[in-house]
Amino acid sequence: MSAAPAITVDTDRSRLDVALIHRFLAGSYWAQGIPRAVVEAAIEGSLCFGLYEGDRQIGFARLVTDRATFAYLADVFVVEERRGRGLANVLMDAVMAHPDVQGLRRWLLATRDAHRLYAQYGFRPLAAPDRFMERHDPDVYRR
């Protein structure tokens, strides 16, 4: 009997399966219909984490960060058929441990349904929501 492929996380952009990432994000509630060119640009401008089972990508996370004071965590996912095995924690452990984002003053994210996952990493509801504003265009990918 052969051993199961190793689970790894790395930030090597050349390993990313952009087709998989685009397909997942285009069907997600937060980026439905996102064009591939936008996904490619987002990857280019971010610190990206691929979650792999052997050579096959099974998850992704992206940090928009200046690597000094701030990070916005986005596009975190594990493919449906690999969920329920603690792999989101493996991915988040790698994100939070990355040497380029230690000592940041503020991290932000938006989620509809993964509050319990992110709470394990210190994320909480905004302490002062009156200090934050947003400019949100939810239909941008439909135009």
- pLDDT digits over 36-66, tens only? 999 999 999 999 999 999 999 999 999 999 9
Per-residue pLDDT band for 4 (boundaries 50, 70, 90) equals: confident
Within a domain: residue 117?
A: yes
Within a domain: residue 131?
A: yes
Helix H segments across the chain?
18-26, 36-44, 87-97, 115-119
Q: What are phi and psi of 29, to 5 degrees?
A: -70, -25
Within a domain: residue 2?
A: no
Q: Are 68 and 47 in contact (CB under 8 A)?
A: no
Within a domain: residue 116?
A: yes
Within a domain: residue 1?
A: no
- Enter the pTM of the model: 0.94
Within a domain: residue 123?
A: yes
Could you give the CA distance from residue 65 to residue 95 in angstroms, rounded to a whole number?
12
Q: How many domains does the chain have?
A: 1
Average pLDDT on 91-111 reads 98
Pairing of strands 106-109, 70-78: parallel
Could you give the CA distance from residue 29 to residue 20 in angstroms, rounded to a whole number?
16
In percent, the amount of the chain with pLDDT more than 70 equals 99
Within a domain: residue 90?
A: yes
Within a domain: residue 108?
A: yes
Q: Residue 23 belongs to what domain range?
A: 7-142
CATH of the domain at 66: 3.40.630.30
